[in-house]
Structure 1
Amino acid sequence: MAPKAILVHNASAGIREPTKDQLIALIEAAGFRVKYRNSKRPDLDAKLDNRGDLVIVAGGDGTIAKVAKILLAKPEQNTPLAILPIGTANNIALSFGITDAPEALIPRWNQTPLRKLSHGVAHAHWGEQRFIEGVGLGSLAEATTPKPKDKSDPKGRKHRINAGRVAFRHAIKHAKPERLYITVDGTRIEDEVVLIEILNISQVGPRLRLAPNADPGDNLLDVAYVTTEHRDALLEWLDALIHDDLDEGIVGPPPVATIPGSKITIAWNGMDLRIDDKFPLMPGQATAPSEAKKDARKKESKVADEAEEKAKEKARRDNADLVTIEIAERQLKILAPQGKAEGAAAKRAVKKEKRS
């Protein structure tokens, strides 16, 4: 009997192609029996209790992280996960080296060895949350505040990614420096920063490869941060990246300090905090960052003198909430064909599937 695959699909993600029917046909042509699940169903967790030989997720980073966290929360579930990236940024897929379209990836599954995906857990007195991509504080968290999606946008993926990079550049340029108090595997770091990202994968947000050496399966997190003295260098890197569109190979690595570790503790003083693509509700942060909050910060920085700022900094430090971020024990098996399909036969197969 043919192996059973459970396809979890976000039909509204990114480019929205291939369609549901096209995906099912491609997977069946690879020799699987397919059970289809809409990623937005409220009972998706329960639907993934039905074990198959392979769970396939077709969507963007939010959908991939959602399905991965559901599987990781099920101790009895050991089914591999195959990723079909059809979102906008596709950071998780690209961190695994998955660069092809679904019609080129699916025929290569049988020749692909399994890899590992680690995940992390953020703990504080408000509880704990799992994450796949990472935890962000400061500028990138603020710049990626959820906004209503314009489904009529005709300009496509590249335009949306570049617009996100422009918004991030604006946030970095105007970011108020924050005093960073962080411990990475027992090593204490203290500095003035404009960006902090604790990453499980190599890139985040609008395809920003802030941790080029990160391995999503090595059971380590990469703490990436930018000090105030390197702000201008980061702005120059972003300018080059925006100008060269999506080609990070041209502009080189970012001017970001990175430190690997498995357990990170941060004295969180209320700055914007993002876990994967969500903004959890925590003391001091009742909602995601708002325009009113940003305006209030600007006004405060103008009227406060140096003595007041020092007093406020001391109060923030004294009242900081400790957030512990660490690698969880469990890993997920990932089916991740890397690079581009090669050869005339592969190209003909792709064209044939597009015509059908």
Structure 2
Amino acid sequence: MPLQPAASSAVACPQQAGAAAIATGSGAGARALLIINQKARSGAEQAEAAAAALRAAGLAVQAFDPPEGMSCGDAVTEGLAQGGFDRVVIGGGDGTLNAAIPGLLKAGLPFGILPLGTANDLARSLGIPLDLEGAARVIATAAPRPVDLGEVNGHCYFNVASIGFSAELAAELKSEAKKRFGKLGYAVAALGLVRRARPFTVVLMHDGAVERVRTIQVSVGNGKHYGGGMTVAEDARPDDGLFDVYSLEVRHWWRLLMLLPWLRRGTQGSWRDVRAFRTTALELRTRRPRPVNTDGELTTRTPAVFRLRPAALMVHAPPPDAG
């Protein structure tokens, strides 16, 4: 049965109510809970610098160092139990931010991003500076704005979820390689995998249509950037209330290499062997279960049911037209 567009998530209201208490992002008198992923590429060495940058921007900062094994989402909940905070600051990469989603949804407070990861795709999609001082100033001064969430089989994500090539890449790209080589790690792993990429059959169900296609990857984007330099669509935004979907229906691995410049710009939809469309709900079915990559982590398998959660969270970021 074709999916119907999902209604706005009920959790959007608490986040917006929490943000309403902060008419602007002014740091005067504001108190931030700071959680740093010490395992992020720049986390351990920049934890003190991150706190100092936030204080220099005018925020009162209380850091919470989660014990070994505690998820980032649980760390948000545990840290906020101390009370008196009006925003949460997450220091880390896209995987850290993804892991924080359950706690942020529960918190009902706006959040800020200190981009300390490898790719920092969400920060780039939102126009947040990638240096500590610039990001801290945004957290202290920018009014919170809504950001959508994608959801697949109950797992939320900020940037993109996919099956096929990028999911296989996520499985091969070990965390140690990401930490050691940064964005180069993506390129090294991708080059080793691209020649082994083989098309598979997937059924796409959306907007009353059922399409059976041969593809090497289907990506369902909520944000704009992903994978350390790729772009879902050139005009995609993480707050536009839409999924940007594309399917790479290429027959030979060398065609994928030719596509790379377009994938980086987000113009791959202009190719005849790339299917691209926008929707608010989608289902992917494959003959055998395939892993689904959400923000760089394998979290579920097909069949994959997607729904959009519009304005689910509030984030301190420049306004959409600032750039």
Q: Does 2:276 align with 1:258?
A: yes
Q: Which deviates the most, 104-113 or 5-14?
A: 104-113
Asked whether the 8 Å contact 2:243–2:308 carries over to 1, the reply is: yes
2:32 counterpart residue number:
5
2:161 counterpart residue number:
135
Structure 2 CA distance for partners of 1:335 and 1:12, relative to 1, 3 Å: same
Give SS of 2:283's match.
strand
Q: Does 2:184 align with 1:162?
A: yes
Q: Distance between the aligned counterparts of 1:168 and 1:151, measured in 2?
A: 13
Deviation at residue 241 of structure 1 after TM alignment? 9.1
| Correspondence 1:100-119 to 2 at 5 A | 100-119=130-149
Asked whether the 8 Å contact 2:41–2:182 carries over to 1, the reply is: no
Asked whether the 8 Å contact 1:105–1:337 carries over to 2, the reply is: no
**Who wins on radius of gyration, i.e. which is larger?**
1
Q: 2:206 aligns with which of 184, 207, 210?
A: 184
Q: Does 2:258 align with 1:236?
A: yes
Q: 2:80 aligns with which of 22, 45, 48?
A: 48
Q: Deviations over 1:169-228 (max 9, x none)?
A: 443432121112111222333221111111111222232223332211122211121002
Deviation at residue 98 of structure 1 after TM alignment? 1.9
Q: Distance between the aligned counterparts of 1:162 and 1:93, measured in 2?
A: 19
TM-score by length of 2: 0.76
Q: 2:95 aligns with which of 18, 41, 62?
A: 62
1:332 counterpart residue number:
313
Higher share of residues assigned strand: 2
2:18 counterpart residue number:
none
User: Which portions of structure 1, spanning 4 or more consecutive aligned residues, are displaced by more than 6 angstroms?
Assistant: none
Q: Which deviates the most, 44-53 or 264-273?
A: 44-53
Structure 2 CA distance for partners of 1:259 and 1:30, relative to 1, 3 Å: same
Structure 2 CA distance for partners of 1:175 and 1:328, relative to 1, 3 Å: same
Q: Distance between the aligned counterparts of 1:106 and 1:95, measured in 2?
A: 17
Structure 2 CA distance for partners of 1:170 and 1:28, relative to 1, 3 Å: same
Over the matched positions of the two proteins, sequence identity in percent amounts to 24
Deviation at residue 8 of structure 1 after TM alignment? 1.1
Structure 2: any 5+ residue segments left out of the alignment? 1-27
Asked whether the 8 Å contact 2:178–2:186 carries over to 1, the reply is: no
Asked whether the 8 Å contact 1:8–1:36 carries over to 2, the reply is: yes
Q: Which amino acid in the other structure matches residue 225 of structure 1?
A: S
1:87 counterpart residue number:
117
Deviation at residue 62 of structure 1 after TM alignment? 0.9
Structure 2 CA distance for partners of 1:281 and 1:112, relative to 1, 3 Å: closer
TM-score by length of 1: 0.70
Structure 2 CA distance for partners of 1:167 and 1:25, relative to 1, 3 Å: closer
Structure 1: any 5+ residue segments left out of the alignment? 154-158, 243-247, 283-320, 342-356
Q: Which deviates the most, 252-261 or 189-198?
A: 252-261
Deviation at residue 333 of structure 1 after TM alignment? 0.8
Give SS of 1:279's match.
strand
Q: Which amino acid in the other structure matches residue 158 of structure 2?
A: I
Q: Which amino acid in the other structure matches residue 46 of structure 1?
A: E
Q: Which amino acid in the other structure matches residue 48 of structure 2?
A: D
Please provide the CA RMSD for this pair: 3.1
Asked whether the 8 Å contact 1:69–1:131 carries over to 2, the reply is: no
2:25 counterpart residue number:
none
Q: Deviations over 1:124-144 (max 9, x none)?
A: xxxx32222232111110011
